[in-house]
Amino acid sequence: FAGPSTRYCPAGVYEWVEKDGKETYVINAQNCVHCKTCDIKDPNQNINWVPPQGGEGPVYPNM
C-alpha cells in the first residue's frame, strides 16, 4: 500500500523522508491530535493506538 497512513492522517504524523538516498518511514508523534483515524483507517490494523499517559485523549465536545 506504500504507507497509506501518510494519506489518511489529518495531522501529518506519518511520512516518508529521503535520507542518504533511501526512503525512511518517520513517525512525528508530536503532530498527533489523538483523533484515532490511524486506528480506524489502517487496512492492516498495524497501528495500536494507546491514549497518552493512560488517559482517554481529548474530549473534543468540551473544548
Residues 8-48: tens digit of each pLDDT: 888 988 888 998 999 988 889 888 888 888 888 887 787 87
Q: What fold, for 5-57?
A: Alpha-Beta Plaits (3.30.70)
The DSSP bridge pattern shows strands 14-19 and 22-27 to be antiparallel
Domain ranges of the chain: 5-57
Distance, CA of 18 to CA of 16 (rounded, Å): 7
**For the whole prediction, is pTM greater than 0.85?**
no
| Cell numbers found for residue 7 | 494519506
Name the residue among 38, 8, 13 with its Cα closest to residue 26: 13
